[in-house]
A and B are shown apart, each in its own frame.
Chain A
């Protein structure tokens, strides 16, 4: 008797909304299925108990009686289903407002009277109106049966209301969770999409120096900075970006930093062909590369190498991004750890357990490694 009363909004805002709606429509189907299972099991069980309540002996009258019972269970099944539709339309079981005891009582009474009529009808059809043989007892029978079925429909309604309340509680919990997750994700996205102000102002300073020394280099640097800005602005709006686009922004970023650090920095990028379309959270690679520059190059007085690679994993079902810089992990600040934790959280939100983000130190290199499944969770 579970179901979902909300109809999914047919106009999704963006991919994130789409993802969430898919989840709700999925649970809508599950709730529908649960309702039909519970409905069938309930009425089937009642039918079985009733059928065998008067003993089993294969005689003609038993078969006729059983047929009448099957008929009544079927009408009960149908009536309760119609009653559910009615309850939903009138929203009598929804929270808020006064609980309409009187309306529900009258409804149940009407239901049991109709069911009683079906019962008498079945008696006429299958048992040659055996009930009507004794004219004096008919009224008593009708009253008794009406009361009995009133009880049956009342129990049905109570169970249905309980299931509804349970479902509502679960949905409320889920929505709260989903909301928290969305807020967190938006925060993380906004954080990562920000252009590092330190980098930005230093770049402007570099460009101003270049304006006098090498106007061509200055012009090209402005183009690179604009490209980066554009990528980071777009990052705030979409759930994922193509690896190729992110790579281009990273390259623009690194060529800006190369202007600043000159021969203190050397970059080596290697990107496997054919994985350009891999989806990744925007600015994720960029954040790692910025980290590498901040903790590698900025702290080093001599040459610091940075190696970036994107490859297919040995198993073939995911993409492995690697950002390595010469240096030590111990020097990484708190902010790096927070950044790394944020990256892990974003990955978990998008891909579940299949994605990972780790940072290790090996042989004088600090290596950040991200594993991305080829498909979104």
Chain B
């Protein structure tokens, strides 16, 4: 399992590396001391797992995650940041309190998805795309959402509003950037402004201007443009 350690303190990184020696499934491929270095390393190594300090100069751990298109598995490390940890759904991510207890670290590694643990032996083709997650940071609040739970992406200038469950946070990413990363068999660009998760479409009805009106959960209704509707019908042979 290719792993990165991201922490601004050298001794803290050394300490974590020392603890990880006992876990041969975890292969530390790089260390970063700030967000900039971290982004570089993530692009270069495409790690499966990152240990991430919450507080860093030049951007917090959350800022780093929000800058990633699709995040690897994350284990947060922090000395005392219960407020920050509480800011998002803890069950989605694990976190370790520094100084890290070896038993607690072992538990956290055990909890990792089995696919990630086996990866050391069997390299899968595209590990992230099917069960990929995306980290969204809107103001003080953060979410770590599985792509399959997202109903709709809607463009708002340079931002995109993400619809899932009852939440509607904004993420700093254009719709075009997102479209390039999403699986086209599951997500469809229905208009200039919207991408829909086809798995959530409850009903399709003809719209007024020759397009199609899609009904989504939570009384959401979106309209597919005429051009796209034609394409859609052609593909699905409607």
Contact = CB atoms under 8 A, between A and B. Distances in A.
Contacts of A309: none
B97 A212 contact: no
Interface in A197-219: 197-198, 200-202, 204-206, 208-210, 212-213
Interface residues of B, number: 21
A309 B108 CA distance: 46
Contacts of A300: 57
B18 interface: yes
B15 A208 contact: yes
A298 B11 contact: no
A248 interface: no
B9 to A, nearest CB: 5
**Looking at chain A, what size class is its interface with the partner chain?**
20 to 34
Contacts of A168: none
Contacts of A209: 11-12, 14-15, 18
Interface string B91-117: 000000111100000000000000000
A205 B80 contact: no
A201 B80 contact: yes
Choose among B9, B14, B34, B81 the residue with the greatest number of A CB atoms under 10 Å from its CB.
B9
A206 B34 contact: no
Contacts of B97: 201
A301 B58 CA distance: 7
Interface string B66-83: 000000000000011100
A259 interface: yes
A152 B55 CA distance: 80
A205 B55 contact: no
A198 B80 contact: yes
B9 A298 contact: no
B10 interface: yes
Interface string B17-43: 010000000000000011010000000
B14 A198 contact: no
A299 B57 contact: yes
Contacts of B9: 202, 206, 260-262
Contacts of B98: 201-202, 204-205
A205 B57 contact: no
The DSSP consensus for interface residues of chain B is: loop
Nearest to B12: A205
Contacts of B81: 198
B79 A259 contact: no
A260 B57 CA distance: 13
Contacts of B10: 262
A201 B9 CA distance: 13
A201 B77 CA distance: 12
Given A204-B99, A206-B11, A198 B79 contact: yes
B58 A260 contact: no
Interface string B193-235: 0000000000000000000000000000000000000000000
A205 B58 contact: no
B80 A259 contact: no
A201 B100 CA distance: 10
Interface string A296-338: 0011110000000000000000000000000000000000000
Nearest to B53: A202
Choose among B11, B36, B80, B97 the residue with the greatest number of A CB atoms under 10 Å from its CB.
B11
Contacts of B58: 299, 301
B11 A260 contact: yes
Contact of B80 (A197, A210, A261, A262): A197
Contacts of B79: 197-198, 200-202, 205
Contacts of A200: 79-80
29 contacts: A197-B80, A200-B80, A201-B80, A201-B97, A201-B98, A201-B99, A202-B80, A202-B98, A204-B99, A205-B11, A205-B100, A206-B11, A206-B12, A209-B12, A209-B14, A209-B15, A209-B18, A210-B11, A212-B18, A213-B11, A259-B11, A260-B9, A260-B11, A261-B9, A298-B55, A299-B58, A301-B34, A301-B36, A301-B58
Interface of B: 8-12, 14-15, 18, 33-34, 36, 55, 57-58, 79-81, 97-100
Given A205-B11, A260-B12, A298-B57, 10 more contacts: A200-B80, A201-B80, A201-B97, A206-B9, A206-B12, A208-B15, A208-B99, A209-B11, A209-B14, A298-B55
Give the 9 A-B residue pairs with the shortest CB-CB distance, closest first: A209-B15, A201-B79, A209-B11, A205-B98, A205-B99, A197-B80, A202-B79, A198-B80, A301-B57
Interface of A: 197-198, 200-202, 204-206, 208-210, 212-213, 259-262, 298-301
